A = this chain, B = another copy of it.
């Protein structure tokens, strides 16, 4: 597997993308874009688990099942959520306008929105914007830019893989936006993945779920989940490989590459949490089950007190244990070990004397590794998050004002 320099959603063959400034956001920024495949795709998606779903999510859930998607139209600046029937009608019209432009049927166009909840899409701006988008083979970066909100850097990547049988080379690309309202599951807001591999639809669905389970489902920024969360993958088969099926040739290579792409994007989202200055990695091992390890790791990495302590490089590790204790994970206090990188802070449930300067220097790093060994079983999991800074509060106390 090779990471492509400048990799993005248009790195796989047959994908074009473009973006424009439609005027949905203030300032001279891209805020509307299109991802387009030259041929129709096998598609799979994961969507918000919130009971309140934005109109574009409802549109996608209805039409992605048909498996014939060929484009995604996305905007920032407006979530198109909580505005009733109008929202559904607008999402449908957005798909229809883009479809007309691309020579497709509306149901072949998926829709994704991010931004403020409770305001209607300014359809005039959207209509004009769509006309101005010119998808190209180089346009992935512009699309990545157009879906950002409070992100401070673009999240995009691409990899190339020689499938096991050595006959075909395929590529996988991805872009994502994050920053706030990020929590499992489904912690991402928007993520678009593309591949030129030919894949069987059920295999694609399972591979996406599997990759998300160790990536998007394992990051948290603030415990809040968005009504717009969408992870969509389009596979257009242009690479010409033999169709990859579950357990068949090429399956493992594809799954590994997709996981790599998702992990990169998920960790980028965690690293770029609103106001974040550090990436926190929490490994829980020795849990009774993997599910318990996942729960423990996500709870610790999501604790506001842990996040604030890491922000100030304060080795107040009792907060890690307090968060673990309230996670509901099975544990025996007198078996728990706690490490900051390789520095042991607690052994068999008992505080160890430790070098505070060494602990502070680990907490000062851009990536802070925390490891908890429950010493009960084989369950292991890793979760990522970020520190909690004053800046997070500042950003979020003035978001719409």
In whole Å, how far is A180's beta carbon from the nearest beta carbon of chain B?
7
Is A118 in contact with B82, judged by CB distance below 8 angstroms?
Answer: no
Q: Which residues of B contact A303 (CB under 8 A)?
A: 223-224
A312 touches B398 (CB 8 A): yes
A6 contacts partner chain B, Cβ-Cβ < 8 Å: no
Q: Quick check: which of A18-26, A98-106, A255-263, A341-349 contacts chain B, the rest being far away?
A: A341-349
Verify A323–B224 contact, CB threshold 8 A.
Answer: yes
Interface centre among A85, A313, A316 (most CB of B within 10 A): A316
Interface residue? A401 (CB, 8 A): yes
A321 to B326, CA, bound (A): 26
Q: Across the interface, do B305 and A180 meet the contact criterion of CB distance under 8 Å?
A: yes
Q: How far is the CA of A268 from the CA of B148 in the complex (A)?
A: 40
Whether, in the assembled complex, A252 has its beta carbon less than 8 Å from a beta carbon of chain B, the answer is: no
Stretch among A60-68, A126-134, A169-177, A386-394 lining the B interface: A386-394
Question: Which interface residue of A333, A388, A393 has the most chain B CB atoms within 10 A?
Answer: A393
Measured between beta carbons, the chain B residues less than 8 angstroms from A302 are 223
By a CB distance below 8 angstroms, the chain B residues around A395 are 308
CB of B183 within 8 A of CB of A311, answer no
Least CB separation from A52: chain B residue: B325
Number of identical monomers bound together in the oligomeric complex: 2
Interface readout for A19-59 with B: 1 if CB under 8 Å, 0 if not? Answer: 00000000000000000000000000000111111000000
Least CB distance, A76 to chain B, in whole angstroms: 15
> With A84-B348, A326-B49, A351-B83 in contact, do A319 and B392 touch (Cβ < 8 Å)?
no
- Say whether chain A's binding surface is mostly helix, strand, loop, or mixed: loop
A112 an interface residue at 8 Å Cβ cutoff? no
B-contact 0/1 string along A276-314, CB 8 Å cutoff: 000000000000000000000000001111001101111
Specify which chain B residues have a CB less than 8 angstroms from the CB of A329 in the assembled complex. 51
From A181, A323, A325, A399, residue with most partner B Cβ within 10 Å? A325
Residues of B within 8 A of A192 (CB): none
Number of contacting residues on A, CB 8 A?
Answer: 75
A119: interface (CB < 8 Å): yes
> A181-B305, A314-B397, A390-B390 in contact; A351/B82 too (CB < 8 A)?
yes
Contact with B along A53-95 (1 / 0, CB 8 A): 1000000000000000000000000010111111000000000
Contact A399-B350, Cβ < 8 Å, known A224-B323, A322-B226, A333-B52: no
Contact code string A317-336 (vs B, CB < 8 Å = 1, else 0): 11101111111111101100
Contact of A318 (CB < 8 Å), options: B117, B312, B322, B334: B117
| Contact A321-B52, Cβ < 8 Å, known A351-B119, A393-B389 | yes
Contact B79 A318 (CB under 8 A): yes
A397–B305 Cα distance when bound, in Å, is 8
A106 shortest CB reach to chain B, Å: 23
* CB <8 Å contact, A349 and B314: no
A309 touches B118 (CB 8 A): no
0/1 interface trace, chain A 193-222, chain B, CB 8 Å (1 if under) = 000000000000000000000000000001
Whether A14 sits at the interface, judged by CB under 8 Å, is: no
Q: Can you show 13 pairs from A to B with CB atoms below 8 A apart?
A: A51-B329, A52-B331, A82-B346, A116-B316, A117-B317, A118-B351, A226-B322, A304-B392, A308-B393, A308-B395, A308-B397, A314-B398, A388-B393
